Chain A
Amino acid sequence: MIAVEALTKSYGRNLVLRGMTFNAAPREITLLVGANGAGKSTTMKVLAGLIRPQKGSAHINRIDIVDQRIAAQRSLAYLPQRPSFHPRMTCAEILRFYARLRAVAASRYEAVIDLAGLREFERVRTSALSGGTRQRLGLALLLLPDAPVLLLDEPGLSLDPGWRQRLQDTLRFEAERGKTVLVTTHLVREWNNVAHRCLLCRDGKIERELDPTNLPHNFDEMEQVAPDAHKRSTINEPPFSIVG
């Protein structure tokens, strides 16, 4: 499970997290939604052990990610927004490295390659992969260690609709197996009826919980929350207004 308590984080003068507090339970997919700059990705990075908060605490399976980073990281797997890899290594070399790192059995390694549809790319250098295939490699690495906590930061942005659906099915399956799944996303409508909980993030904290089975109807509310979202968006970052 994930327990986040009063996280505060700033980059220089820019206060990104202002007391972020929430829990995510096992057997559930929890969505973190919000406009750009709301603090979703920063929260994910704190949970993954990539950055340290100035205040507050974050626990992965009751282990403090700040004070016992390595121990907490044994319980998690993280998929960043834009997964990147050593450009001159092949998919198989990357997968084998992470499998060795997490002491993964060969059978799981084989299963994950097939699940992510990477068999034909095993000998391809990662620099030659399309954005979608790279995302699938990232997905394979997320599933590889069979970690009890899965963190996904804006997953599926480069995936085609078929693979997005498979991603959601896979996460639902993993949640049913007892895992804690935390996902940040802009694509609210795509995740409607997929997640068990949906937390609206605004100005570096959780503003309120939304009904995860009726996310499109919450859209108007969210637009009021981030009225200038369309101005801040870029080609790579879909604004709330194009959700769905």
Chain B
Amino acid sequence: MSRLFPSLVEVAPLRAVLLREFRDALINRYFQVFSVLSLLGGAAAFVLSEDTHSIAFLILQVSLYFVSLFALLAGASSAQAEREEWQMLFAQPVPRAAYIIGKFIAYLSIFSAVLVLLFLPGLVAGSGAQRIAMLYLQTLLLAAAFLAVGLAAGFLAHDRAQALIAGVSAWLLFLFGFDLVALFAARWDFVQKFPDLWVGLLMLNPLDSFRIEALFALEQIPAEAANKTPLASWWIGHAGLWFSMVAAFWTVALVALAGLRLNRWEE
């Protein structure tokens, strides 16, 4: 790890990278579209929902689909935007990992600000400050994980088209792929004998973990659904903790993968 992310002690270069990445995030088209969608989504939740409970549920759906997708697209396009500049960038006395860490911090910081647009109407409508705050933090964790997916796809791919295809494929895999595999696996005798394997597969998926955590938090699922297997029972009992761990795992693993790729990059 120390070889991958060498000493980042010099402040001036890191500050320069951070400022550049903040600027890059502000002019990123996916990010601009996401900001507008967040504002519209927040307003729609406020205007169209019949009660405070359904406001939170609508925000959850926006978070599940749009936040994950746009975080991924913003990450992938950002990684590719300066690909042609790598020769100039990597000839500078800065660890290559600084560019990834800078991107991640800048994008996540701006995401955290833009997400307020989505959640503020719910707060104003009186959906429960604590519930909305929890959902906001969970959504931010989800954004971090999918930003990391996007960065990894962007840095691993050879061009912009390849990055977008890889990124969207990864998003579909998390959104549908895990569930489809689980659906087919449910027919196998072996899995029926050890149903925790089936549960474990879903637990590894940050989107499923987010869904379970948020849905239970919003009381959209009856509590008795939690008692099907021991692992499922544990999962439901610690859904928030588990989601935080899964999101952190994917984030760190994918940022490290992108760092490894950049460290080994040769023209």
Interface residues of B in 4-40 (CB under 8 A from A): 6, 12-13, 15-17, 19-20, 23-24, 27
Name A78's closest neighbour in chain B (CB-CB): B91
> Could you write out 27 A-B pairs with CB less than 8 Å apart?
A45-B87, A45-B266, A48-B87, A48-B91, A49-B91, A50-B87, A50-B267, A70-B6, A70-B93, A73-B92, A74-B93, A76-B91, A78-B88, A80-B87, A80-B88, A83-B88, A85-B84, A85-B88, A89-B23, A97-B16, A97-B19, A100-B12, A101-B12, A101-B13, A101-B16, A101-B17, A103-B12
Residues in A neighbouring B267, C-beta threshold 8 A: 45, 50-51
CB of B189 within 8 A of chain A? Answer: no
Known contacts: A73-B93, A98-B92, A100-B12. The answer to whether A87 contacts B81 by CB under 8 A is yes
CB of A93 within 8 A of chain B? Answer: yes
Chain B residues within 8 Å of chain A by Cβ, number: 25
A117-156 to B contact mask, C-beta < 8 Å, 1/0? 0000000000000000000001001000000000000000
Q: What CA separation (Å) do A88 and B12 show in the bound complex?
A: 23
Closest 6 CB pairs of A and B: A84-B84, A100-B16, A73-B93, A78-B91, A101-B16, A48-B91
Q: What CA separation (Å) do A103 and B10 show in the bound complex?
A: 11
Tell me whether chain B's interface is mostly helix, strand or loop, or mixed: helix
B residues contacting A by CB (< 8 A) are 6, 12-13, 15-17, 19-20, 23-24, 27, 81-82, 84-85, 87-88, 90-95, 266-267
Name B83's closest neighbour in chain A (CB-CB): A84
Which interface class (under 10, 10 to 19, 20 to 34, 35 or more) fits A? 20 to 34
Please state if B81 and A50 are interface contacts (CB–CB under 8 Å).
no
A residues contacting B by CB (< 8 A) are 45, 48-52, 70-71, 73-74, 76-78, 80, 83-89, 93, 97-98, 100-103, 138, 141
Q: What CA separation (Å) do A73 and B10 show in the bound complex?
A: 14
Name B12's closest neighbour in chain A (CB-CB): A103
Q: What CA separation (Å) do A76 and B90 show in the bound complex?
A: 12
| Nearest CB on B from A58, distance (A) | 14
